[in-house]
Chain A
Amino acid sequence: MSPLINIFKKKSSTSNVQSIIDKYNKDQTRLMDILIDIQAEIGYISNESASLIANQLKISKVDVEQTLSFYHFFSQKETGKYTIYLNDSAVAEMMGRNEVAKAFEEAAGSKFGEVTKDGKIGLFNTSCIGMNDQEPAAIINGVIFTRITPYRAKEIIQDMKNGKAVNEMGLQSFGDGNNSSNYIQSMVSNNIRRKGPVIFSDYNLGKSIKKIVNMKPTDVIRDVKASNVRGRGGAGFPTGMKWEFCRNAAGDQRYIFCNADEGEPGTFKDRVILTELPKLIFEGMTVAGYAVGATEGILYLRYEYKYLQKYLEQVLEELKTANLLGTNIGGKNGFNFNIRIQFGAGAYVCGEESALIESAEGKRGEPRDRPPFPVEQGYLNKPTVVNNVETLCSVVKIITEGPNWYKSFGTKDSAGTKVLSISGDCMNPGIYEIEWGFNINDILKMVGANDVQAVQVGGPSGALIAPTEFDRILCYSDLSTGGSIIIFNSKRDLLKNVVLNFMDFFIEESCGSCVPCRCLTVLFREKLLKILKGNGVMQDIDDMISWGPTMLSNRCGLGHTAANPILTSIKNFRPLYESKIQQNKLFDSGFNLQEAIAECCEATGRQPIL
């Protein structure tokens, strides 16, 4: 049993905590792992545990708490013998998440954000858990539950009251593919709807390694550059160039990170690749290691995917046995490369590469100032490559099949394929590997979507696109995307159910360092609420547009895009806003006397004459 899937968490004891601290050699940079293990084993991180960690790691207690309080899945209080984290993303809500939440609350007799009085059941919300194609979904003591109905929610609570183990709660049917393997045994489905020619094409384990051992590292970089492959994590930076920068940067050690944080709501393709093609990912990391001269690789995996831990560790063992990891890889003297898995603990911003590095060093996931870039000073201040899961997979195929083969797919400026995560109002949500160059209409036809009002391309940080723009094409120079596509039909209330939900997401996930990202987002949301309540005037719409550019002064991509839900929906759906504002009024403070004194009235039992 993996440590997270613990049915009955142990009582806090100093000796447990001490042995966990010792397991990581009292290393400050492994603070995340220490906290994750304590959380998994004891259920929360007590004040005493924090003191002990501080003392042993020789850092101050506020620094331990700084990391601890940053991540959603760490808790300083008990979170219940059974802890339910129910996804509250927009798509989850569309699929009936609120009714499920109500059923959980009624059955448990407590509210979200609380633990039942007997300490048995804790109910908590959580941002998108990468299951958008099978919502409503929840993580319960590390086990993923998908397609939950209100009826099922009641059953689950009843099972908890009866003390049933989580992994026995009706998980008779496992998902497809490796989801049913002995090491995963999860009800999660892959929903691979379309296999393209690069990622999901035939894969011969180790073929790229066999090839590169006869190549110079710089020749590997040359081929990757020649293929024109660009990053699949969203930013689209040319991969070969990134590797070259890293290789040429001064440093006695270099690191390869695979970014499997996959936090953008609506993205779940990395989860499927991790489930079905983990060897391809690890092979890609190894190729990267050879090319830049790194001997250590780290897979940074979001905590939501902890259910894959045992499986992935097993795969790493297999690769070592096959001499595809470890020392003298592929029989080549001095080709050494090892991979470890670093878990996050619930923070979208940790997908940003420098925040990811901070997190892997045991700190709060606060993005760094750039320059210097990770390729110059990354993990432990050494030159570091951070690449998305899909990017690393593509590289393996580029090496085996050649850059020209790769360039034969896609468009002139966007080579290769893109794996899309498609969810929302359509017949066949799931994973689609397409060549760059498809337009939105092609995609809607492919997934069986009718009566479409809007499409969110690139997740909340991307753009809300209207039908007039459905002929725009997916490629780096037009609609660039990390792969999240969410479809909304005409029955959806875009402002209330989508835009507001996305704003809440960014407010929740901001690291809080930059003023506009911490404060202005909240003011944007308040303005949106004012309009939704019917108190808005034309000036309110224009105000929001005028605040937009200030968001670009934020330090990282989260802050740059955090107002995009509002800004892109005003741009493409302005009539929706205008239909909600007061037409004959130029000013409205939004202040409502009745509302402001409602509490007072209730307390005194009196009503004012207004």
Chain B
Amino acid sequence: MAELIKFTIDNQDCLAEKGLYIVEAAAKNNIYIPTLCNIPGVKPRGACRICSVRVNGKLMSACTTPIADNMKIENNTPEIVEMRKIILETLFVSGNHFCPACERSGSCDLQALAYRFGILNQRFPYQFPSKSIDASHPKIMKDHDRCILCKRCIRGIKTEDGKSFFAYKKRGQTLEISIDTELTSQLTDELAIKAANLCPVGAILLKERGYNIPIGKRQYDLTPIGNEIDHLEK
């Protein structure tokens, strides 16, 4: 049996197998730590910072930090909750998120987290950045308005020989995701579906296939995000 590590989250004693990241270890103890960029089973990349927790007093991303013996982790403290709200709110104002018209409404992680954190209004001014929709690809559409640049598509979708379909372009506030035009033929239907599902928001959409599941019956319409882990709502 794998070695067990003892640690605490918000003063609750926890146990988990050695080698797990804090996010995973917390889930094993029915504690939910929100994530946006994390993909279970894929090497984490700490891009969104929403999973930030205090580890022995120091802020660390819970998705990239392995648990260690006697770690004292703060997760659901007023300070951390406020930080997560700021991260969510800045994401909303830095893109153009018109949820009611979005194909992913109800199954969008960003929207679901906003509900979970009770974000009802905005403290930040909307930036209304001017962004485009890239519909040049035969199978998928890339809506830059909704992209939160979480890198899931970059990390999760590769060709058979490991080449990237997606990559970052530029940096800072001009950062965006681009799709490779020379590998188009290698993006199979299966991969396209995987990419659309992997995207936490409605930034990668399958062409000619909108609104499959009616609003009201989508993932987070049925159970709030994280509920499968901490069962806050029965």
Contact = CB atoms under 8 A, between A and B. Distances in A.
B is bound to A? yes
Interface of A: 51, 54, 58-63, 65-66, 69-70, 347, 364, 366, 369, 371, 507-516, 518-523, 526, 543, 547, 549-550, 552-555, 590
Given A371-B65, A516-B86, A519-B90, A60 B49 contact: no
A515 B125 CA distance: 16
B94 A518 contact: yes
B151 interface: yes
Contacts of B93: 519, 523
A62 B179 contact: yes
B6 interface: no
Nearest to A54: B182
A515 B170 CA distance: 15
A512 B170 contact: yes
A554 B163 CA distance: 28
Interface of B: 44-50, 52, 59, 61, 64-66, 79, 82-83, 86-87, 90-91, 93-94, 123-125, 127, 148-149, 151, 159, 161, 163-175, 178-183
Nearest to B36: A515
Dominant SS among interface residues on chain B: loop
Nearest to B68: A371
A5 to B, nearest CB: 27
Cβ-closest 7 pairs across A and B: A512-B175, A62-B167, A553-B52, A369-B64, A66-B167, A519-B90, A519-B94
Nearest to A366: B168
Contacts of B164: 59-60, 62-63
Dominant SS among interface residues on chain A: helix
Contacts of B161: 58
A512 B168 contact: yes
Contacts of B91: 515, 519
A590 B125 contact: yes
A62 B171 contact: no
A66 B155 CA distance: 14
B172 A550 contact: no
B173 A63 contact: no
Contact of A69 (B45, B50, B170): B170
Contacts of A521: 173
A589 B174 CA distance: 26
Nearest to B151: A513
B182 A507 contact: no
A507 B179 CA distance: 25
A324 B25 CA distance: 51
Nearest to B178: A62
B94 A66 contact: no
A552 to B, nearest CB: 5
